[in-house]
């Protein structure tokens, strides 16, 4: 048999590596090594799984504060997600469905099974190459019978042929001999958060060239998976089923010096896809394409597609390899998680790398992730905003359900836009998202000059959300408007009075709406008439929008020159953090009851500082410093959205040791093996947070929301000698180079 060994160079600036197998960190690496292409995503689980880590355990996951939850499945959780394939859960509402596991490849030699926990393994290494999203594993397996095998695995989810996942394993016999049994299958014994969303699983078909699983979900979708197989040596494959599993089974005698390569290809299609043809036609088409073109050609197209993504997305840091790898990892996940041509879905809070948060969409998309897309792939940013336009009907239902006209965007959204949040305090009170979306749209428009977006789509979102706001406010005895019963970004104070962040966002949104309508009316009478007819808009409504915008209170305390988080903030109880927070490696929320937390001055995350980040011109440097000094010591950073905001503000103030402390925190959130942060999925908002920290914080880019020309005020961390990246700005691309001495902005085309 041919000897064909893979040689890999693991570039430590482009590859995330696991150097020893440890069952305690396995779940973390499964999340961190998630692969995907926008259309589908698979967690980085082992091909053969882990023994004793059942994936079909049924239980009722209760709605909870995800930050403090103790998740099940401590060792391993498979994950196969297709954005938009969601099902109903009795308590969690709509959740993304964890689909059948199609990565399965089991190896058994001389009756001994490869089992990462029990087998004797040497020279283990696993790594994800961020350049092309390929996941590798190499190891030497010493069996009890003295057979030594060198195994090299590689797999990728094609960035070009979005329905294909390719896997290969090379098996080289170093010593001994025995019969190798190989089983490559599709396994539907998977539950999502303990719930079975599969109404029917069909494995029957008459084709002997592939195995097939068709899953009918309780959300009414059909998902078809077809796997084909090829080997470098002649193997007679048979197709077997065991319960709902289906697999190819083949065997071959291997001797010292032999080398065998197995390739498995899986095509995944659903009835939700935007392509023509029946499921089986399409599934077979992709599979045939693989067998016609072969691994190399498909890999080349895939890797070129990744190259074109990196061309405008990469950030290069000289002097800090840890930060270099972290930003590339986070950018990789942002690119992977985004479905840039399907505006029926957005990016869920765990970046389609885990079941937590049920695949729901939050403000994370607009405020944390969108800036990355605006400046690297504006078309993708537009697509994300289109998702909000496409789900306006759901937002209208949310408003109606709460007794209002107009549109209220869901705190947690899914495919319909209807509220999915299972916990009342966020669903009812964390209302800022409705205005955040309008802010984000203007951020996109101001950065790209795509004014047509506002006229064609934005105006409906603006008028409808403004209608909601003018009813959601209360008029006080002095004739000013207030927003009562509000949870701001800080989720540890659920029902406050006039949250500074929320009120400013709403004011912005209403001002923009009134201005826009006035402008259209003056410049385009016909267009205005169309809007009036389409939305049933009345002149009086515009007056009301203007009035509320003008008279909406923005809390401020003249005596202290500190912007209060909410008007009533001072009245909450002070917290003795040292007495309560015994172990700072765990979230503060674990050490205090929710009831006590909700009446205390302990912040989960940046709130006023987030406001200052989004409206930098509203505040003086002194106010910024005052806010940082006041809020930072009482902020627990229990939310992963917090550290990056603090890091940016610290960099703006030139307090570099503090900024660097937050940089470390932001990197550790998903990169730290010790913290195991990626176990339940990627904190994808924090990925956008790191990008912002580097671009807005360290390069000091002034947000395109507030200026036309690129303006930089850099503060580089001590170790960084150079920072380079590319920015899309007003339809052009620019190369930004920052060193300690100077910065340069070069137009690319």
Instruction: Show which residues are catalytic.
Output: 491
Total residue length of the chain: 749
Q: How far is the CB of 429 from ligand BGC (least distance, A)?
A: 13
Contacts of 371 by beta carbon, 8 Å cutoff, 6+ apart: 443, 688, 691, 692, 695, 696, 703
Q: How far is the CB of 89 from ligand BGC (least distance, A)?
A: 18
What one-character-per-residue DSSP string does 397-448 give?
Answer: HHHHHTT-SS----SSB-SS-S---SSHHHHHH-TTHHHHHHHHHHHHHHHH
Q: How far is the CB of 364 from ligand BGC (least distance, A)?
A: 5
Q: How far is the CB of 532 from ligand BGC (least distance, A)?
A: 36
- The residue (of 156 and 362) whose beta carbon lies closer to ligand BGC is 362
44 within 8 A of 29, measured Cβ to Cβ: yes
Contacts of 11 by beta carbon, 8 Å cutoff, 6+ apart: 129
Please check if 363 is assigned to a binding site. Answer: yes
Instruction: Give the 3-state secondary structure of residue 699.
Output: coil
283 within 8 A of 226, measured Cβ to Cβ: yes
Please check if 14 is assigned to a binding site. Answer: no
User: What is the Cα–Cα distance from 637 to 584, expressed in whole angstroms?
Assistant: 11
- The residue (of 126 and 443) whose beta carbon lies closer to ligand BGC is 443
User: What is the Cα–Cα distance from 180 to 240, expressed in whole angstroms?
Assistant: 17
- The residue (of 357 and 696) whose beta carbon lies closer to ligand BGC is 357
- The residue (of 189 and 607) whose beta carbon lies closer to ligand BGC is 607
Instruction: Give the 3-state secondary structure of residue 169.
Output: strand
682 within 8 A of 354, measured Cβ to Cβ: yes
Instruction: Give the 3-state secondary structure of residue 663.
Output: helix
Q: How far is the CB of 377 from ligand BGC (least distance, A)?
A: 22
What one-character-per-residue DSSP string does 574-638 give?
Answer: P--HHHH---TTS-GGGGS-HHHHTTBS-BSS-SHHHHHHH-GGGS-HHHHHHHHHHHGGGB---
Q: How far is the CB of 368 from ligand BGC (least distance, A)?
A: 8
Please check if 364 is assigned to a binding site. Answer: yes
- The residue (of 581 and 729) whose beta carbon lies closer to ligand BGC is 581
Contacts of 133 by beta carbon, 8 Å cutoff, 6+ apart: 35, 36, 37, 156, 157, 159, 302, 306, 332, 336
- The residue (of 104 and 681) whose beta carbon lies closer to ligand BGC is 681
Q: How far is the CB of 672 from ligand BGC (least distance, A)?
A: 18
What one-character-per-residue DSSP string does 363-394 give?
Answer: TIIIIIIHHHHHHH-HHHHHHHHHHHHHTHHH
Alpha carbon of 204 to those of 198, 214, 373, 382, 444: distances in Å?
16, 9, 43, 42, 49
CA 736-739-742 angle, to 5 degrees, is 85
User: What is the Cα–Cα distance from 493 to 590, expressed in whole angstroms?
Assistant: 16
Q: How far is the CB of 360 from ligand BGC (least distance, A)?
A: 8
- The residue (of 291 and 424) whose beta carbon lies closer to ligand BGC is 424
Q: How far is the CB of 350 from ligand BGC (least distance, A)?
A: 8
Site residues for ligand BGC per CB under 6 A: 67, 349, 357, 362-364, 489, 491, 604-605, 639, 641, 685
DSSP collapsed to 3 states, 302-370: HHHHHHHHHHHHCEEEECCHHHHHHHHHHHHHHHHHCCCCCCCCCCCCCCCCCCHHHHCECCHHHHHHH
- The residue (of 81 and 210) whose beta carbon lies closer to ligand BGC is 81
CB-count exposure of residue 206 (10 Å: 0-12, 13-18, 19+): exposed
Q: How far is the CB of 65 from ligand BGC (least distance, A)?
A: 8
- The residue (of 563 and 682) whose beta carbon lies closer to ligand BGC is 682
User: What is the Cα–Cα distance from 440 to 419, expressed in whole angstroms?
Assistant: 20
Give the H/E segment covering residue 692: helix 684-692
569 within 8 A of 607, measured Cβ to Cβ: no
- The residue (of 503 and 635) whose beta carbon lies closer to ligand BGC is 635
Checking phi first, is residue 700 left (phi over 0); if not, alpha (psi -120 to 50) or beta?
A: left
CA 102-107-108 angle, to 5 degrees, is 140
Q: Which residues are annotated as a binding site?
A: 363-364, 604-605
């Amino acid at each position: 048999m041919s000897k064909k060994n893979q040689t890999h160079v693991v570039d430590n600036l482009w590859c995330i590596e696991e150097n020893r197998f440890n069952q305690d960190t396995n779940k973390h690496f499964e999340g961190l090594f998630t692969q995907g292409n926008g259309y589908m995503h698979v967690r980085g689980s082992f091909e053969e799984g882990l023994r004793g880590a059942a994936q079909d355990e049924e239980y009722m996951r209760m709605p909870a504060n995800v930050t403090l939850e103790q998740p099940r499945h401590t060792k391993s959780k498979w994950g196969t997600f297709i954005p938009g394939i969601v099902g109903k859960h009795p308590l969690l509402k709509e959740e993304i469905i964890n689909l059948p596991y199609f990565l399965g490849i089991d190896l058994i030699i001389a009756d001994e099974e490869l089992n990462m926990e029990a087998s004797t393994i040497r020279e283990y290494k696993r790594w994800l190459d961020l350049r092309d999203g390929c996941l590798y594993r190499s190891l030497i397996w010493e069996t009890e019978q003295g057979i030594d095998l060198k195994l090299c695995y590689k797999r990728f989810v094609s960035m070009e042929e979005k329905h294909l996942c390719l896997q290969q394993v090379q098996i080289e016999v170093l010593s001994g001999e025995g019969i190798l049994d190989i089983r490559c299958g599709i396994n539907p014994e998977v539950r999502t958060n303990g719930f079975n969303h599969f109404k029917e699983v069909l494995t029957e078909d008459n084709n002997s060239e592939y195995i097939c699983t068709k899953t009918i979900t309780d959300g009414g979708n059909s998902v078809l998976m077809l796997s084909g197989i090829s080997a470098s040596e002649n193997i007679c494959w048979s197709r077997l089923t065991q319960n709902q599993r289906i697999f190819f089974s083949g065997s071959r005698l291997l001797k010292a010096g032999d080398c065998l390569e197995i390739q498995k290809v899986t095509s995944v299609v659903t009835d939700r896809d935007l392509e023509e043809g029946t499921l089986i036609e399409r599934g077979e088409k992709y599979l045939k394409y693989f067998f016609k073109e072969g691994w190399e050609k498909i890999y080349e197209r895939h890797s070129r597609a990744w190259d074109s993504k990196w061309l405008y997305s990469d950030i290069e840091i000289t002097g800090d390899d840890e930060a270099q790898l972290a930003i590339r990892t986070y950018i990789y996940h942002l690119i992977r998680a985004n479905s840039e041509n399907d505006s029926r879905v957005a990016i869920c809070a765990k970046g389609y790398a885990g079941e937590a948060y049920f695949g729901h969409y939050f403000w994370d998309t607009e405020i944390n992730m969108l800036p990355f897309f605006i400046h690297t792939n504006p078309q993708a940013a537009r697509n994300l905003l289109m998702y909000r336009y496409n789900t306006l009907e759901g937002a209208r239902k949310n408003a109606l359900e709460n007794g209002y006209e107009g549109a209220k965007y869901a705190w947690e959204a899914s495919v319909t836009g209807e509220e999915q949040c299972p916990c009342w305090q966020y669903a009812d009170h964390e209302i800022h998202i409705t205005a955040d979306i309008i802010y984000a749209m203007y951020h996109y428009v101001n950065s790209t000059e795509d004014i047509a977006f506002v006229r064609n789509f934005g105006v409906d979102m603006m008028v409808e959300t403004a209608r909601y706001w003018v009813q959601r406010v209360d008029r006080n005895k002095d004739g000013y408007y207030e927003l009562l019963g509000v949870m701001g970004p800080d989720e540890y104070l659920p029902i406050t009075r006039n949250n500074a962040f929320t009120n400013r966002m709403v004011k912005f949104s209403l001002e923009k709406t009134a201005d826009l309508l006035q402008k259209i009316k003056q410049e385009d009478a016909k267009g205005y008439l169309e809007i009036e007819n389409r939305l049933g808009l009345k002149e009086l409504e515009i007056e009301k929008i203007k009035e509320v915008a003008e008279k909406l209170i923005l809390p401020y305390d003249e005596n202290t020159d500190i912007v209060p988080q909410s008007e009533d903030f001072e009245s909450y109880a002070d917290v003795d953090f040292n007495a309560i927070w015994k172990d700072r490696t765990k979230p503060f929320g674990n050490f205090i009851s929710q009831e006590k937390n909700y009446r205390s001055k302990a912040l989960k995350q940046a709130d006023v500082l987030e406001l200052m980040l989004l409206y930098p011109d509203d505040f003086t440097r002194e106010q910024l410093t005052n806010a940082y000094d006041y809020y930072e010591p009482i902020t627990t950073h229990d939310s992963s959205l917090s550290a990056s905001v603090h890091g940016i503000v610290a960099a703006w103030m030139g307090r570099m040791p503090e900024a660097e402390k937050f940089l470390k925190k932001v990197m550790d959130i998903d990169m730290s093996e010790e913290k195991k942060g990626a176990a339940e999925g990627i904190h994808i908002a924090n990925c956008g947070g790191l990008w912002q920290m580097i671009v807005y914080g360290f390069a000091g880019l002034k947000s395109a929301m507030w200026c036309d020309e690129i303006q930089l005020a850099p503060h580089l961390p001590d170790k960084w000698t150079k920072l380079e990246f590319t920015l899309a700005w007003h339809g052009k691309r620019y190369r930004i180079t920052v060193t300690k001495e100077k910065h340069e902005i070069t137009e690319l085309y």
